[in-house]
Amino acid sequence: MPVAGHVLRHARVRPEAVALCGPLGELTYGGLAGRVQGAARHLAGRGVRPGSLVAIGLADPVALLVAVLAADLAGATPLVGDPAWDRRRWARTAGAARVDLLADAPLPDAPGPAVEHDPTPGDLAWACFSSGSTGRPRAVVRTRASWTGSFPHLAALAGIGAGDVVLVPGPLSSSLYSFAAVHALATGATAVVPGRRPSAAALAAHLERATVVHLVPHLLPAVLARPGALRTAVTGGAALDPGTRAAAARAGVRVVAYYGATELSFVAADADGSGLRPFPEVEIEVRPGPGGLGEVWARSPWLAEGYLGGVAGPLRRDGDGWMTVGDVAHPYRAGEPLRLRGRGGGAIQTGGATIVPEDVEEVLRKVPGVSDIVVIGSPHPSLGAVVTAVVEGHGGSPPPRALLESVARSGLDVAQRPRRWYAMPSLPRTGAGKPARALVAARLADGDPGIRRLT
Structure confidence by residue, pLDDT tens digits, 21-72: 999 999 999 999 999 999 999 999 999 999 999 999 999 999 999 999 999 9
262 vs 232: which has the higher pLDDT: 232
Architecture of domain 347-453: 2-Layer Sandwich (3.30)
For the chain, what percent of residues have pLDDT higher than 70?
95
Count of alpha carbons within 13 Å of 311, Cβ hemisphere only? 21
Mean pLDDT of the chain: 90
Q: How many residues does the chain have?
A: 455
> How many angstroms separate the CA atoms of 362 and 455, rounded?
22
Q: For residue 330, which amino acid is it?
A: H
Q: What tens digit of pLDDT does each residue of 383-412 get? A: 778 899 999 998 878 999 999 999 999 888
Best-predicted range by mean pLDDT (44-48, 97-101, 358-362) = 44-48
Q: What is the pTM of this model?
A: 0.81
- The pLDDT of residue 134: 45
Q: Which residues, listed in sequence order, are joined to residue 21 by a DSSP beta bridge? A: 26, 192
Q: What tens digit of pLDDT does each residue of 281-325 get? A: 999 999 987 667 788 999 999 999 998 887 777 889 999 999 998
Residue 119 — φ and ψ, nearest 5°? -75, 155
Best-predicted range by mean pLDDT (17-31, 122-136, 227-241, 309-323) = 17-31
Count of alpha carbons within 13 Å of 418, Cβ hemisphere only? 31
Residue of 173, 179, 117 lying closest to 147 (CA atoms): 179
Query: Has residue 146 got a pLDDT over 70?
Result: yes
Where does residue 174 rank: exposed (0-12), middle (13-18), buried (19+ CB within 10 A)? buried
Q: Are residues 119 and 145 in contact, defined by beta-carbon separation less than 8 angstroms?
A: no
Residue 294 — φ and ψ, nearest 5°? -140, 175
Q: How far is CA 324 from CA 45, 249, 266, 361, in A?
A: 40, 33, 12, 23
For the segment 250-277, the average pLDDT, to the nearest whole number, is: 95
For the chain, what percent of residues have pLDDT higher than 90?
64
For the segment 108-122, the average pLDDT, to the nearest whole number, is: 90
- The pLDDT of residue 135: 45
N-terminal to C-terminal alpha carbon distance within the chain: 51
Q: What b/e string do you get for 201-233 counting C-beta neighbours within 10 Å, with b at 16 or more?
A: eebbebbeebbbbbbbbbbbebbbeebbebbbb
Domain edges within the chain: 4-256, 347-453
Query: Has residue 349 got a pLDDT over 80?
Result: no
Best-predicted range by mean pLDDT (51-65, 93-107, 330-344, 357-371) = 51-65
CATH number, domain 4-256: 3.40.50.12780
